[in-house]
Structure 1
Amino acid sequence: MAIHPLRQRVTGLMQAAGVQPDGPGECDPRILDDHFYGRVLREGSLGLGDSYMDGWWQVGSLDGMLYRLLRHGVDERVHGLRSRLDDLRAWLLNLQAGRRALAVGERHYDLGNELFEAMLGKRLVYSCGYWRQADGLDDAQEAKLDLVCRKLGLRPGMRVLDIGCGWGEALKYAAQHHGVEGVGVTISREQADYARKLCAGLPVDIRLQDYRALAGDTADSSFDRIFSIGMFEHVGAKNYRAYFEVARRCLRNDEATGGGLFLLHCIGSNVSLRHTDPWIARHIFPNSMLPSAAQIASASEGLFVTEDWHGFGTDYDRTLQAWRDNIEAAWDRLPPRYDERFRRMWRFYLAASMATFRARRAQLWQLVMSPHGVPGGYDAPR
């Protein structure tokens, strides 16, 4: 029997990555609907993810299969129409300005705190842990918060700004362990409400506010230290310069001491792009994108001296695996709105993220910057 050309082409692409449709291995997908082949060729990664959500295929090791496809560049050989349209949209529009800037808060971070409480562990820290000496997720997240505070040299009495404060865990840690006072901004109403309760009794002010609304020209908006953990991925290339200008404006300016310090913790791309993966944009992080090293350097040029650039992207694979273990153990305790289709979407999201870091297609960076350069140099903690 002749093999249909669409099936033959998809099978050939997968085989080049060591993946065999309907094969015997744990990374070999079992195809349950033959429309899968045409959909993947028409829609690229969007078709692959959506067909998984629709139950058209299943696989023993989802992250293992996606890792093989990414490692061998299969995604670069199949581009759907949605990817081309997203590229055009990003070229014509500022996708992270005005009402569009609020979309990720409404559609992702406001999904429900019970979902993130079940997944993230002891602390609601939705970013990469630091696993150098950690025995588990909670230890890795505490080590990351400790690392951020040590890199910034936090001391009692300092005033600290958290751009994209999430559920307030980093500011709470800094206030409790280093005696600082802080301001955190987020565009998620659910996060802001949670963070205010979490930080009750501490000198921490949580604001439901876009980062661009930070003035930086009054005592109320002037800070000794600034950090931003896992938020820069939502800023967008057209706004990178404005983001660094806000941080620079809000940082106290003392040339004799080199000024304050700004720590940026973000996922990074190996290449400069204008938009994110179409499936991620549709279902997980609308209007998001990963910055490249070149984009960060260009946007911060003339505003900051980069004192330290620390990469530990392989730690994100371990963090994501821990999140997957947590959420898989919790599904039956969560509300019915997280139905089977949602669970398949969430599994694909976590597995694709693991595969991306494992294949070294994405990085995790912590940058420490100063306005004028630290006199005598900056000694970077690890």
Structure 2
Amino acid sequence: MENTALSHHHRFFDEHSSSYRFIADLLAKADIQIDGERAWDIQLMAPGVIENALARGNLGLGESYIEGHWEAERLDDFFYRLLNARLPEQVNTGKLIYHALATRLLNRQSLKRAWRVGEAHYDLGNDFYAAMLDRRMTYTCGYWREATTLDAAQEAKLDLICRKIGLEPGMRVLDIGCGWGSFMAYAAEHYGVECVGLTISREQAEYGKTLIHKGLPVEFRLQDYRLESEQFDRIVSIGMFEHVGHKNYRDFMAMAHRCLTEDGLFLLHTIGKNVRDTLPDPWIDKYIFPNGELPSLTHVSEATDGLFITEDMHNFGADYDRTLMAWYANFEAAWPRFRDQFGDAFYRMWRYYLLSCAGAFRARHIQLWQFVLSKRGVADGYHRIS
């Protein structure tokens, strides 16, 4: 007996059209069926989805999803299979010419433009993020090696960073892109250090006042990283480098070099991409992180050349899959509280964001790196901590 999705399929799609056959054959390479019965199969519910995806890549696919024109019960598995089979590389979407030119030619993360992501993403509301994240509101990858809960994974990550940079009581630490201050609070509580955090989110800076009221030696500065000039014993940047942009990588590293004491350590925690000359994802750029850009290893290497010695590099990108799935579970559980505030289109957008990213990390399409950097090299050699 024909199911509902299949009847939609016959009403809207011509199985014999060249675009339909092309996509069906392509998806078969990833073991994905159009209107199949498995959780990762794509269900088509309106005309134009295939053409939109072929013409505009993930931007077209994602916008069609927001509009409710297609569905996959396990969206994370759908994207894992899609990316693991490297299907996007086999579709020519016309290179999305304007997006490509803007990415390569413009400084989309200039002083003026850099504030946009704070307003569009991080200022959605502290209550919303508190419901989705761990109890410390840590919006970066957890460390799951021995953890079984999101709270434990995030504390393990924060402690890992503290140990990697050898924090000692009395040190002053700069956190570039401090978020809601989870690292600063943890480091102050457990290692007796003073912290200064930089953020371009007014909501995050406002939240920071609650930490200060608890008596913690932390300071939030609502400012762009380029304007910082003080010196610190240690510097961390945890999940902010993705907003810097390739035209500013060298300036970012020069700022970190300027603000770090001669014998200090700098830990850079960032998502990264496998291939240098690839464009930022246009859907993520438009709907989630305006003007974001993932670095490649060569980007990091070139930006640090002559400024820093790389003491250690650690990749635990697979842990981001589990982190995103934990955020998604929290988001789903909390959604009834936020439905009236954000609406159904936001729900589909946010679901697409969290689960497509989980699938990308699961396929190892993108990575999570932690670099430990020094100015002159650790005298007796840096001892790996994990």
2:240 aligned residue: 231
For the structure 1 residues 262 and 116, does the alpha-carbon distance in structure 2 shift closer, same or farther, using more than 3 Å as the test?
same
- Shifted more, 360-369 versus 266-275: the winner is 266-275
Number of equivalent positions: 372
Matched, 1:265 2:278: no
2: CA distance between counterparts of 1:271 and 1:68? 19
CA distance in 2, matches of 1:224, 1:74: 46
Shift of 1:334: 2.0
- C-alpha contact 1:87 1:274 (8 A) present in aligned 2: no
- Give yes or no for contact 1:163–1:228 (8 Å, CA) kept in 2: yes
**TM-fit CA distance, 1:335:** 5.5
1:250 maps to what in 2? 259
Partner AA of 1:73 in structure 2: R
Q: Does 1:204 align with 2:202?
A: no
Give the unaligned 5+ runs of structure 1. Answer: 216-220, 254-258
Q: Cα offset for 1:92?
A: 1.5
Q: Tell me how far 1:70 sits from its aligned partner.
A: 0.7
Out of 37, 41, 44, the position equivalent to 1:24 is: 37
Would you say 1:362 and 2:372 are equivalent positions? no
After the TM superposition, which residues 1-382 of structure 1 pair with which residues of structure 2 at under 5 Å, given as runs?
3-81=16-94, 83-200=96-213, 201-215=215-229, 221-253=230-262, 259-273=263-277, 275-334=279-338, 336-382=340-386
Asked if the contact 1:36–1:51 (Cα under 8 Å) also holds between the matched residues in 2, the reply is yes
Q: CA deviation at 1:160?
A: 0.4
Q: Match for 1:35: what amino acid?
A: G
Change (3 A) 1:51 1:369: same
Quote the Cα distance in structure 2 between the aligned partners of 1:186 and 1:359: 31
- Secondary structure of the 2:331 match is helix
Tell me the alpha carbon deviations over residues 139-191 of structure 1, each in whole angstroms, 9 at most, x when there is no partner.
Answer: 00000000000111111110100000000111011111111111100000001
CA distance in 1, matches of 2:172, 2:96: 43
Amino acid corresponding to residue 252 of structure 2 in structure 1: Y
Displacement of 1:79 in angstroms is 4.1
Q: Is the 8 A contact 1:27 1:61 kept in 2?
A: yes
CA-CA distance at 1:338 after TM superposition? 1.8
- 1:270 maps to a residue whose letter is N
The 2-side partners of 1:296 and 1:79 are apart by: 29
Deviation at 1:2, TM superposition (A): 6.0
Q: Aligned AA for 1:249?
A: R
Cα separation, 2, equivalents of 1:252 and 1:310 = 23
d(CA) in 2 for partners of 1:273, 1:112: 35
CA contact (8 A) 2:134 2:154 kept: no
Deviations 1:232-261 (A, max 9, x none): 0000011000000000000012xxxxx100
Root-mean-square deviation (CA, aligned residues, Å) is 1.3
Q: Distance in 2 between matches of 1:101 and 1:204?
A: 24
Q: How many percent identity over aligned positions?
A: 52
Quote the offset at 1:101 in angstroms. 1.0
User: 101-110 or 12-21: which moved more?
Assistant: 12-21
The residue identity in structure 1 corresponding to 2:256 is: A
Shift of 1:133: 0.7
* SS of residue matched to 2:380: coil
CA distance in 1, matches of 2:107, 2:285: 15
Q: Is the 8 A contact 1:43 1:79 kept in 2?
A: no
Secondary structure in 2 aligned to 1:285? Answer: coil
Inter-partner Cα distance in structure 1 for 2:312 and 2:154:
21
TM-score normalised according to structure 1 size? 0.95
- TM-score, with normalisation over the residues of structure 2? 0.94
